[in-house]
Structure 1
């Protein structure tokens, strides 16, 4: 049974909505008030989910090309809304990274009581500690941004290669379909010609049979008249 042209689009869209739900939970739900390291881990998972959502957007852009023009506009609107949602959550993720970095820079590593520990004679709330923590946070953020940029570029390159490959395969399929269509037309024409030739052959055979019968009757009549005399 042939699948409807919108089935894959809707399946990808459903996966996209599940990813956005998980992202929303980590940014605005249960993950919003997590402590430092757990918050960082949650944000890393958000970045991975955002990349997966971006891949799904690319798949939606491919699938929408195969949807009939009569209903494509509503799916184009849904694709545009999905892109808007993805952009909004990317912005929210970036803001969460910024807030976490600012929190660490301004003394987020303090104990709940704000008192120094035995490992830090200057106290975690001192300028020296905050400066070191801020420097480490900035370095860590720079590394993460560099890694994210590299991954994004690699993903973009791979996505472009995949899209080019899919376009090439689609062109091959369309060419094969056109070739098969042409072959069907040629077969229909050949079949029609063969049927015409068969009819003509049968017609000629009947004519030969009638001519043979005519001559047989004629010879019989000639013999009859000669013998009767």
Structure 2
């Protein structure tokens, strides 16, 4: 069974519904994705334009173009991080967060872009050179700037399908076959159907909130400029 491909115009307020003062997309109310995806709670976040939005995993899949394994991991990692950094009564603000990802996957970037800039095409995050695509690359450092608290969230690599990245490497090398495509689709379905049903601690283990000191600063547009300079 193929997981359906769907897209929504997530960057337009007109495509959103207002529920409880939080903008929600139509996919929050109706979805063709697996039941575990539908049951996963959304992330509520106040974006830089000051609007509180509710972003579900189905919204992420719509934005990305299909049900994506790496996007699933990134979304659930952010759920776990925010649960640890904020109380139930707080809605995180995008401008109060700093997220560092060790994974260069497009699905990972789409999760963060959707949360931090509502997925505007002009705000798409560029991938720097030298990043490694591997099961142990699903690691995220998340900082709440207002409290100087941080958490590190990392997927248990043993849970990731063996052979995934070998097939992805074959596609980049031009040796990708129809059998490889079918196997990759099976891996995608395995992750997107089963991971959302798992407990966050099962996926990522226990985590510790730590308070840090810091020096230096990241200015707006500085990271993007650094990536462009590499190209």
TM-score range, shorter chain: under 0.3
TM-score, reference length from structure 1:
0.22
TM-score, reference length from structure 2:
0.21
Considering fraction of residues, name the structure with more strand: 2
Choose between structure 1 and 2 for higher RCO, CA contacts under 8 A separated by at least 6 residues.
Answer: 2
Highest CA radius of gyration, 1 or 2?
Answer: 1
Considering fraction of residues, name the structure with more helix: 1
